[in-house]
Amino acid sequence: MADDSSRIGILEQLKRAFAICKKDIRIYYVKGPVLIFGILIPLFLFAAFLIGRAVNSGFLVSSLMSMTIFFSATAVVPTIMPWESQAKTLERLVSSPVSITAIVLGDILASFFFGALFSLVPLGLGLAMGVAVINPGILLAAVLLASFCFSSLAAILSTRPTDVPSNVMMLSTFVKFPLLFISGIFVSIEELPEWGRLIASLSPLTYFTDLARFSIEGTSYYPLPLSIVALTSFALLFFAVAVKLHERNTSKRL
């Protein structure tokens, strides 16, 4: 007969996920190159966007926030499992009383905080340039949803059972850059042809960009509830798929 007092509840698993989040931040995120990456990349993108172009500043800031949160939230997560597999820390982690769901959630949470934090850099630059945020509550919700959504997407990219991080980065780049160009960042959705708008609607980045534009410029292409529901749905779908794939592939890494 099992000892029922030892059942581990969801709340306890969430605490353990948060412990993994803290461990990831300590090992993978609070590092000079990573922090510099988070600040410099938005700055360079800002400059690249601005030079030789007469760009509406609200459009500029929302586009830059999109690029920053997308790159920041997908930068590190794909490499965590391969690194842990290579460093032989993964089996120690998997043999602990923590579910795969909690391990994946922990990795995602670390990336979520990183992505959300660094999205403030282009926002800060925009505010310094005189851009105003009309709907800060919507922007905050969009940043949080998008950061979780893109972190979960990155978790899917890390499911390949390899212990060589560069293998994962290649796949990650192959997925991320096309998404960047179809998501209304460089050209607004209204200006895209019919087929372009159809493709854009399949990208979660499109909905964050639209929400960011709404928060700053007061206008959007999609109805507000649609963007929020779409972003939330993508986030839940990516999270579920990431957990499922990691449950299947984690033992293959050992």
Partner 1 sequence: MKNVIDAVNLTKGYGPITAVDRVSFTVESGEFFGFLGPNGAGKTTTIRMLTGVIKPDSGTAYVKGHDIRREAIEAKQVMGILPETANAYVDLTAWQNLMFLGELYGVSRPLRRERAAQLLKELGLYERKDQIVKGFSKGMKQRLLVCMALLSDPRILVLDEPTSGLDVQSARLIKEMLQGLNRKGVTIFITTHNMEEANQLCDRVAIINHGRIAVIDQPEKLRVMSEELQSIEIAFDRPVEIESLAKLPSVVDEKKMGDKVRLYTQDPNGLINQIVDYARGEGLRFTALNMLTPSLEDVFVKLTKK
Nearest partner of 62 among 228, 207, 231, judged by Cα: 207
d(CA 175, CA 163): 20
CB 13, min distance to partner 1, A: 8
At 117, list the tokens: 């934090």
d(CA 82, CA 188): 37
Q: Which residue number, 19 or 43, has a Cβ lying nearer to partner 1? A: 19
Q: Which chain residues interact with partner 1 by CB under 8 A? A: 1-3, 6-8, 12-13, 15-16, 19-20, 22-23, 26-27, 87-89, 91-99, 251, 254
Q: Which residue number, 98 or 185, has a Cβ lying nearer to partner 1? A: 98
Q: Which residue number, 111 or 203, has a Cβ lying nearer to partner 1? A: 111
CB 162, min distance to partner 1, A: 17
φ/ψ of residue 118, rounded to 5:
-75, -15
Q: Which residue number, 40 or 254, has a Cβ lying nearer to partner 1? A: 254
Nearest partner of 67 among 87, 85, 47, judged by Cα: 47
Q: Which residue number, 27 or 144, has a Cβ lying nearer to partner 1? A: 27
Is residue 28 a contact partner of residue 113, using CB atoms and an 8 Å limit? Answer: no
CB 155, min distance to partner 1, A: 19
CB 152, min distance to partner 1, A: 22
CB 168, min distance to partner 1, A: 19
Q: Under DSSP, is residue 209 helix (H, G, I), strand (E, B) or coil?
A: helix
At 237, list the tokens: 């779908």
For 70, counting Cβ atoms within 10 Å of its Cβ (0-12 exposed, 13-18 middle, 19+ buried), the class is buried
